[in-house]
A and B are shown apart, each in its own frame.
Chain A
Amino acid sequence: MRWGVGRMRYQVEPGLYRLGEPTPESPVLVTANYKLTVDTVRKALKGFDVWLLILDTKGVNVWCAAGKGTFGTAELVRRLELTGLAQVVTHRRLILPQLGAVGVAAHEMQRLTGFTVRYGPVLARDIPAYLHSGYRATPAMRRVPFGWKERLVLTPMELVGSWKPTLGILAALAVLHLLQHRALTPHLAGELVPVVGAVLAGGVLVPLLLPWIPGRAFALKGAIVGGLWVALAQVLLPTGLVEGLGIALVGIALTAYMAMTFTGATTFTNYAGTLLEVRWALPAILASAGAGCLLRLVAVVA
């Protein structure tokens, strides 16, 4: 799943579900119809008798769906009508995941349906404590965590999109190597290993070491790590000066680009900041990659 395999099939039928033996007085919790999300919520609520209202978010998690508006006031109103929740329960209270607040206006819900909205904790695993304490979320439950574990599980998806372009670059390098040397020499490793390593460094190492790499812009963090990596690779697997420089520039560009794409997976990057980063970093990355390719071609001709 984390690798994106069969992700589109991971949807749960929207609607009203019973967990345990809920009565008309039991709490109603709301979530998205992404299967991983529903499974996590059900696991957390084991032993509780509650209603679970699953919205149609097209199989997308709560936070992303709320950002897109599919986990939103309109869908919540519609789902209340379709399930006839007002006839099923006697109270008029809904518990929403806190991260759904990006898409739902609590006061609008009250005005449109008479249901009051409480926002529960960010994480499903805190729901039992939240329910037991009479709907009180501690400040820690209201924060979205982003430690190394959270960053690690995101790295496979970073790599999935990159293997095709990476193979293309490796194939192009092999062809250039053949043109230059009329044979595949052991020096080819010194050209391919830095490229593969640069992609891995940007896709895995930068996300993992994110808080400790200097700089705030992700592309800058990537360029620093990429620079160190290509320098190390050049020491371990030396190549000719011109092609080595060319591959180093391509490698730094790759790590910086991969690092920059991680902005979308984090929990703290904002739109304005990311726009600023892309405007500055993308031209620099393209220039570095272009200059690198040019140097590698020069090495063939010279």
Chain B
Amino acid sequence: MRYLLNGHSLVLDSARCHGCGRCLEVCPHGVFALADRQAVITDRAACMECGACRMNCPEDAIAVSSGVGCAVAIINGMRGGEVGCGTDCACG
């Protein structure tokens, strides 16, 4: 399924990429592929910006601004609290 602004902040710096394939291993939405021993973004619109690829890229070749895609957490933040789940979150 697709949402709004999916993958807009995802940037891959090909010059730094050594093609280790970690991003393919960690991405839960199949956003990346390997071509000529280089990672490429093949399905940007599927990206939920979770940040797993950036976290696990040993060459620091990936940038993405991640955060919780949760309206309640965002509203909590707007009401002066922290952007976060609170105690009665549906997420276990």
Contacts and interface: CB of A to CB of B under 8 A. Distances in A.
Contacts of A143: 28-30
B4 A277 contact: yes
Given A64-B91, A268-B2, 6 more contacts: A99-B28, A102-B50, A119-B26, A217-B4, A264-B69, A271-B68
B5 A272 contact: yes
Interface string A261-302: 101111111111111111000100000000000000000000
Contacts, number: 154
A273 B28 contact: no
A102 to B, nearest CB: 5
A264 B70 contact: yes
B29 A144 contact: yes
A216 to B, nearest CB: 5
A101 B92 contact: no
Interface of A: 4, 7, 34, 36, 60-61, 64, 66-68, 98-99, 101-107, 119, 122, 137, 139, 142-144, 146, 154, 157-158, 160-161, 210-211, 216-218, 260-261, 263-278, 282
B51 A102 contact: yes
B90 A158 contact: yes
Contacts of A104: 55-56
Contacts of B56: 101, 104-107
Interface in B6-50: 6-9, 22, 24-30, 46-50
B82 to A, nearest CB: 11
Interface of B: 1-9, 22, 24-30, 46-52, 55-56, 58, 65-75, 78, 85, 88-92
A139 B25 CA distance: 9
A257 to B, nearest CB: 9
A278 B71 contact: yes
B88 A160 contact: yes
Contacts of B4: 216-217, 270, 272-274, 276-277
Contacts of A276: 4-5
Given A101-B26, A102-B51, A264-B91, A274 B2 contact: no
11 contacts: A102-B50, A142-B24, A218-B71, A261-B71, A261-B72, A263-B70, A264-B73, A270-B67, A273-B6, A276-B5, A278-B75
